[in-house]
């Protein structure tokens, strides 16, 4: 299978991206590894910066969504906004590449031209997300929207399981415990008086929720496999190809779903200042996700977005006068303990 092949190549040549603070601590200090030590420190710093960026961008994303809801409903086409997000990401990747070509010249690692063998895997995550988004329309026959938000926490578990199976990266037992806690903590933080309804979800709803979680987890893990398959390949080239296929699939979605609206009311109908901010935010978040996939991993991504969810709620208290529930406090404590256990679990190995 394709992803198995990717993994094997990654194992052979891709050691540089796995260095982190913990492997650094484990090594005895000697003259010979001073160079590798400073490169590992640089890797760890880069990993921290992209993780922080993802957390801040994801938090502000959710806040923009709340803001846009408060400001009233804007009748723009979601598919056109998604297309613009992909286009903006593509443009930003090209701009970054142009700068690199100016400074370093065109090399094997940063040239845009590619082989069929390299490019053939890039459409796969886009296809997986497309199938998942299509299923999303059908699941609402079985669950309401708040129930779906709760079931989406299954993504955490599916990502962990697929990360283990497909990328063959091991988590310690403590880290697995931390992962289960992360899922429980996030769900607890979202509990409200109507949450129990989700227990009445029929079997079809559960199956669809699990399939969607697996598709979403698989897309994430597959993207990581693609980004890490060629560790020395410039990330902007990888992003460019990933986003070009994203643009293509979203163009198809516009034609299928919103052709009439775009033809009659125009491509940008219903756009507002907040819509533009949201597109900008989604584009930057998307690039941050790619960087986390390249320089960190899916586990870091899941923790980062979970912590962002909690930060959003706290910020919303000040911005929108939200009230925090006891369940939110308890869930936040469980998530915090999970973050601690994830790093404590690493140290044991």
> Considering the rule CB under 8 A, would residue 333 count as an interface residue with a copy of itself?
yes
208 binds a copy of itself (CB under 8 A): no
Long-range contacts at 99-104 (CB < 8 A, ≥ 24 apart): 100/234, 100/236
CA angle 262, 267, 269 (to 5 degrees): 90
Out of 18, 33, 68, 195, point to the residue binding a copy of itself (CB under 8 A): 195
Q: What minimum distance in Å lies between the beta carbon of 182 and a copy of itself?
A: 11
- Provide the minimum distance between the beta carbon of 187 and a copy of itself in the complex, in angstroms, as a whole number: 6
Positions in 209-248 near a copy of itself (CB under 8 A): none
Q: Report whether 159 contacts 302 (CB < 8 A).
A: yes
Helices (H) and strands (E) in the chain, counts: 14, 0
Q: Which stretch binds a copy of itself (CB under 8 A): 3-11, 31-39, 169-177, 251-259?
A: 169-177
Please give the span between the terminal C-alpha atoms of the chain, in angstroms, as a whole number: 30
What is the distance between the alpha carbons of residues 7 and 217, in angstroms, rounded to a whole number?
Answer: 16
Q: Which of residues 181, 221, 287, 311 is near a copy of itself by CB under 8 A?
A: 181
Q: Is residue 42 involved in binding a copy of itself (CB under 8 A)? A: no
- Using CA atoms, how far apart are residues 18 and 105, in angstroms rounded to an integer? 28
Q: How far is the CB of 191 from a copy of itself (least distance, A)?
A: 6
Contact region for a copy of itself (CB under 8 A) — 19-27, 46-54, 229-237, 324-332?
Answer: 324-332
Burial class (CB in 10 A: 0-12, 13-18, 19+), 297: buried
Measured from the CB atom, the residue of 186 and 225 that comes closer to a copy of itself is 186
DSSP H/E element including 62: helix 34-70
In the region spanning residues 100 to 129, those forming contacts with a copy of itself, defined by CB under 8 A, are none
**3-state SS class at 261:** helix
The footprint of a copy of itself (CB under 8 A) covers 150, 173-174, 177, 180-181, 184-185, 187-188, 191, 193, 195-196, 198-199, 325-327, 329-331, 333-334, 337, 340-341, 344, 348
């Amino acid at each position: 299978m394709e992803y198995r092949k990717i993994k094997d190549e990654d194992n052979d040549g891709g050691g540089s991206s796995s260095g982190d603070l913990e492997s650094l601590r484990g090594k005895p200090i000697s003259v010979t590894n001073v160079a590798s030590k400073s490169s590992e420190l640089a890797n760890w710093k880069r990993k921290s910066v992209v993780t922080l960026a993802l957390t801040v961008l994801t938090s502000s994303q959710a806040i923009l969504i709340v803001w846009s809801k408060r400001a009233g409903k804007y009748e723009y086409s979601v598919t056109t906004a998604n297309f613009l997000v992909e286009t903006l990401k593509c443009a930003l990747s090209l701009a970054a590449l142009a700068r690199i070509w100016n400074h370093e010249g065109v090399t094997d690692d940063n040239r845009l031209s590619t082989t069929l063998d390299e490019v053939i895997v890039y459409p796969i995550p886009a296809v997986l997300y497309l199938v998942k988004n299509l299923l999303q329309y059908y699941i609402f026959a079985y669950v309401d929207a708040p129930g779906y938000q709760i079931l989406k926490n299954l993504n955490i578990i599916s990502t962990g399981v697929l990360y283990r199976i497909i990328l063959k990266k091991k988590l310690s037992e403590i880290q697995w415990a931390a992962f289960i806690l992360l899922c429980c903590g996030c769900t607890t933080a979202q509990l409200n008086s109507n949450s129990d309804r989700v227990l009445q979800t029929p079997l079809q709803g559960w199956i669809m929720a699990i399939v969607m979680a697996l598709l979403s987890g698989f897309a994430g893990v597959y993207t990581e496999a693609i980004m890490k398959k060629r560790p020395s390949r410039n990330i902007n080239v990888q992003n460019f190809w990933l986003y070009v296929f994203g643009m293509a699939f979203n163009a198809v979605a516009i034609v299928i779903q919103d052709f009439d609206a775009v033809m009659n009311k125009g491509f940008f109908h219903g756009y507002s200042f907040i819509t533009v901010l949201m597109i900008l935010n989604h584009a930057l978040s998307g690039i941050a996700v790619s960087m986390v996939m390249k320089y960190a991993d899916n586990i870091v991504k899941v923790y980062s977005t979970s912590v962002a969810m909690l930060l959003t709620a706290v910020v919303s208290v000040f911005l929108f006068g939200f009230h925090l529930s006891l369940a939110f406090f308890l869930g936040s404590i469980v998530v915090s303990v999970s973050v601690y256990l994830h790093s404590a679990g690493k140290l044991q190995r």
